[in-house]
Structure 1
């Protein structure tokens, strides 16, 4: 037993410190960096240039490529660039185009031509979403099934570091440098992604690729919906983090309403919470290796529900920094763990012949609760009060977990449980 434990621990450590995991983290960083450069950072630039709020609000539409990326994902599965192979070749092209788009955005003038800013920002999001497509496919194909959870956690942590560097670091730099220079610096930092792409090995296409473009477009849907419980699994993807997403949408008004200052929210929720989320993602990846995907999804889902209920407790205790820190630590740890299992599960659903297309579809579906379920949260909070609202969000986690148990009982999860 002791020898088995030592062997298991050695395998775990070798997986954590492998080059494959470093690549997953660095690729996550490259994917997270551009996200807020067309969001909060661009909004700050436009506001400082005197662009009216109505125009700034319309720039939300430049984020559409992240939702619609499944439309061109079949091209990534079907065709292979001449340089570096199918995955790294597309990744290199997307990253070069993304860097060029950031440079183009740096030389626009928001006050003089918001339209040109919009075109450049749309190019950034298109090539950023394209990079996401290829990175997701690369991670699925380069990691063993048992490594998907840990790889997902390191990818997500790298992604969050990239977001923080671009948003927090970008805004701090903008206090000392023109925004145009800030964007040029961020374009240069994207060179980390280029180096990673060139140095990383091309994953083996063990199951081949679509022979025609029609097959690349149609076959991923046909293959998926021929499986047992295909619709039930899609429903589970929609439900698993729905309560978590609903609660997260109203947390800032909640903090302000019970008396926390903006400084306290920034220090505890954003800074302290960021490190708790990173820790949760890493812990989740390690535990998935130990527990398997089914038990991880179930356990982390229960923790997510309990952590959401923690906000109801905070509503009872009121303005207490100690309680706030405790609730944020619990919520971000469990949320990071749940996200790692969630992404690993979606990766396990993809057929390696159509990885890019199927994962793009599933990840687009993953974003639906953030938009649709979040819309009525303000009305619910006003109607139920904060305690009732967060209690409801905690209870909403139950149907997804019940569906997970049912799927496992019918055998739909067993293959993934055994492999992950």
Structure 2
């Protein structure tokens, strides 16, 4: 094998059909979010809608935070006709994408100055369908490949997702400006045309769903338990009530019971790791933009370095992290990612000492975002490995919610800390709170059997699934 072949071999995982499909599905997932968030806020403000109303519109995005509430439906309910034709996961994806296209077209036909409620209704429809699509794409990703491939799938998903966010923000704004001849005056037709284009671009997701192969989902255990529960309940309750209760138990309670039965007392240790893994970068990220402003950096410098170049480095880090996980396993790269993220926060402490310095900020953001990309790829792969076939949508939706709760709570005090102790101490503190995570990873790695497969097992499973 030549040197070039050896260097390229670790990246061959990105040539798998499933990885390319996840790239397109990631694009489909990332597009709607900005259409009901920052892009919509820009449209409303330019139309002359007051800031208070725009602030209330932002609550629409809270739909994504509560998607775990209906995730059991995605796991356990089959869609008539569609499920029989293309399978349960793909049928839910296709349905949510069709609803998204219709809802975005509804937003495109709205006039916020004449009927704001019309726009609100379709924006809520977009958010709900988009959150549902996120649930099923996560489940599809987990069910489609073994743990050894999850980081590569997650990296491809992130690339697609972030690319779509650029299209839905910069792309939509450019289309709106172009269709109104770049006039400074508000143009309803320009914004409507931009949203019509975004609705058509959602066809990327439909195409990916149709090209994808339905993953094999093992529901035998949950189906058997549901049937046993139904038969027992029928002895004392009407059949219709017994069937409803048995389904609810299987869909909503069983995913929790399954998780704690598989991991026992170690389940609490795993949940502690999930709750703390991203604490360092989330707490630091809350104050990042305020820090840049206080250091004297201009808006265009922040946009170019943090938002564009930083995004590119995150995607490169995610792709590199996917390759590393595929080569060395999840737990080792999970440890490496946590170590890198905690350590790179010290670069911002140094930035606070030297003040305004564009080259050093570029270096700090590059290293930090690259490290975050590696950590995120490994962490998503780890979360995916914790779910069970048949419960993947519900369990992943819950686990991904847990990972944000504690860090977001702690981050709420970041401004007070900076006011009292300054930026240098703040960034050093952000670094220090990340190091106990390394202990949690070591304990989990020692006490919990790894869900990872050997290369031979992964290859065999890939062949069986038609990868």
TM-score interval, smaller chain: over 0.9
Match of 2:153 in 1: 151
Q: What TM-score, normalized by structure 1, do the two folds share?
A: 0.95
Per-residue CA deviation, residues 242-291 of structure 1 (Å, 9 max, x unaligned), is 11001111111101111111111111111111111111110010011112
Where do 1:222-237 residues align within 5 Å?
222-226=257-261, 227-228=263-264, 229-237=266-274
Match of 1:347 in 2: 384
RMSD: 2.0
Deviation at 1:205, TM superposition (A): 2.1
Is residue 186 of structure 2 the alignment partner of residue 188 of structure 1?
no
Match of 1:98 in 2: 100
Conserved 8 A contact 2:275-2:407: no
Match of 1:394 in 2: 431
Between 1:8-17 and 1:48-57, the stretch displaced more is 8-17
Match of 2:401 in 1: 364
Deviation at 1:409, TM superposition (A): 2.1
Give the whole-Å Cα distance in 2 for the aligned partners of 1:13 and 1:383. Answer: 47
Deviation at 1:392, TM superposition (A): 0.6
Give the whole-Å Cα distance in 2 for the aligned partners of 1:169 and 1:373. Answer: 35
Instruction: Tell me the SS of whatever aligns to 2:214.
Output: coil
Instruction: Tell me the SS of whatever aligns to 2:411.
Output: coil
Are residues 393 and 311 of structure 1, via their aligned partners in 2, closer, same or farther at CA, if it must alter by over 3 Å?
A: same
Give the whole-Å Cα distance in 1 for the aligned partners of 2:343 and 2:453. Answer: 24
Deviation at 1:173, TM superposition (A): 2.1
Is residue 48 of structure 2 the alignment partner of residue 53 of structure 1?
no
Number of corresponding residues: 417
Match of 1:216 in 2: 251
- Structure 2, unpaired ranges of 5+: 180-189, 227-246, 459-467
Instruction: Tell me the SS of whatever aligns to 1:148.
Output: helix
Deviation at 1:183, TM superposition (A): 0.9
Per-residue CA deviation, residues 356-386 of structure 1 (Å, 9 max, x unaligned), is 1111111222232463232111111111101
Deviation at 1:415, TM superposition (A): 3.4
Q: What TM-score, normalized by structure 2, do the two folds share?
A: 0.85
Per-residue CA deviation, residues 140-197 of structure 1 (Å, 9 max, x unaligned), is 1111221011111111111111111111211222222311111111110000000110
Give the whole-Å Cα distance in 1 for the aligned partners of 2:407 and 2:43. Answer: 26
Conserved 8 A contact 1:78-1:210: no
Give the whole-Å Cα distance in 2 for the aligned partners of 1:169 and 1:51. Answer: 22
Conserved 8 A contact 2:385-2:451: no
- Structure 1, unpaired ranges of 5+: none
Give the whole-Å Cα distance in 1 for the aligned partners of 2:353 and 2:105. Answer: 50
Are residues 174 and 369 of structure 1, via their aligned partners in 2, closer, same or farther at CA, if it must alter by over 3 Å?
A: farther
1:122 alignment partner, one of 112, 121, 124 = 124
Match of 1:67 in 2: 65
Give the whole-Å Cα distance in 2 for the aligned partners of 1:7 and 1:265. Answer: 39
